[in-house]
Amino acid sequence: MALLSGDLLNEKIAIVTGAGRGIGEGIARKLAHEGAIVVCADVNFSEAERVARDCGKQASGVRLDVTQAGECDAIVKNILDRYGRLDILVNNAGINRDAMLHKMTDEQWHQVIAVDLSGVFFMTRAASRIMRAAGSGRIVNISSASWMGNIGQANYAAAKAGVVGLSRTAAKELARSQVTVNAICPGFIDTVMTRSIPEAIREQQVAKIPLGRAGQPADVAAVVAFLASDEAGYVTGEVINVGGGYVL
């Protein structure tokens, strides 16, 4: 069996949503490094293309808005037409629109649910049709430690808790087809998303992390690569914290 040595995902066909920067970029790079042929999908096409270029000749960048079910169906169909299969789906695209509950607008609520929850559903539904038929597949969903509740994030926590429920249900439904579905809950990861948090609050958050530092996209990507590999074939329906002990 392959070890975590650069060929864990040899020739696997993978799609990563929100691959244009941050954690998604880290995941795309790691999967490509492990030998996967990666479709880097992002609503920001130029960034998706930039990451795909860095992921090597076989990678490609595509524009995808995960809130649009038709686009999700079309991209999965394009991958099937082009490669004949889809081995790995990583649902990473996500946004936050933080506000205290009593001040949260309808728009802030709907935007976050659309990207962070409905987007995961649309992509998982589309991929599951192919993976069921193939009798194999790996789906990794990026939830968040916030799914357990976080001040100012009612919309985000609800969406990310929804991702946990969706992942566990999909794991049960797809197990008979040997398709695994797992959720990862990053803690505090150093990306554009967290750099918008005021410095004092960032420092408070980092101070709560037992391992003593903010996470990097590569910390999350390493766990995704394992869950996406053949070696994780007996792991499904799990919700895995990657937060330096953040939730301890």
**Which residues are annotated as catalytic?**
156
Contact window for ligand NAD (CB under 6 A) among 3-11, 103-111, 188-196, 221-229: 188-196
Q: Give the type of residue at 76.
A: V
Interface with ligand NAD, residue 153, by CB under 6 A: no
Choose which of 109, 122, 147, 188 interacts with ligand NAD (CB under 6 A).
188
Torsion angle of the four alpha carbons 1, 80, 32, 234, in this order, in degrees rounded to the nearest 10: -30
Choose which of 74, 104, 134, 193 interacts with ligand NAD (CB under 6 A).
193
Six-digit token string for 1 = 């069996």
Contact window for ligand NAD (CB under 6 A) among 1-9, 29-37, 121-129, 184-192: 184-192
- Output 1 or 199, the one with its CB closest to ligand NAD: 199
Beta bridge partners of 57: none
Interface with ligand NAD, residue 92, by CB under 6 A: yes
Q: Give the type of residue at 198.
A: P
- Output 133 or 148, the one with its CB closest to ligand NAD: 148
Interface with ligand NAD, residue 191, by CB under 6 A: yes
- Output 38 or 93, the one with its CB closest to ligand NAD: 93
Choose which of 18, 61, 137, 244 interacts with ligand NAD (CB under 6 A).
18
Draw the binding track, 40-79, toward ligand NAD (x: CB under 6 A; -: no contact): --xxx--x----------------xxxx------------
Contact window for ligand NAD (CB under 6 A) among 18-26, 103-111, 147-155, 174-182: 18-26
- Output 34 or 42, the one with its CB closest to ligand NAD: 42
Least separation in angstroms between residue 221's CB and ligand NAD is: 11
Determine whether 199 is exposed, middle or buried from the number of CB atoms within 10 Å of its CB (0-12, 13-18, 19+): exposed
Interface with ligand NAD, residue 155, by CB under 6 A: no
Q: How far apart are the first and last CA of the chain?
A: 33
Residues that bind ligand NAD (CB under 6 A): 17-18, 20-24, 42-44, 47, 64-67, 92-95, 115, 119, 142, 144, 186, 188-189, 191-194
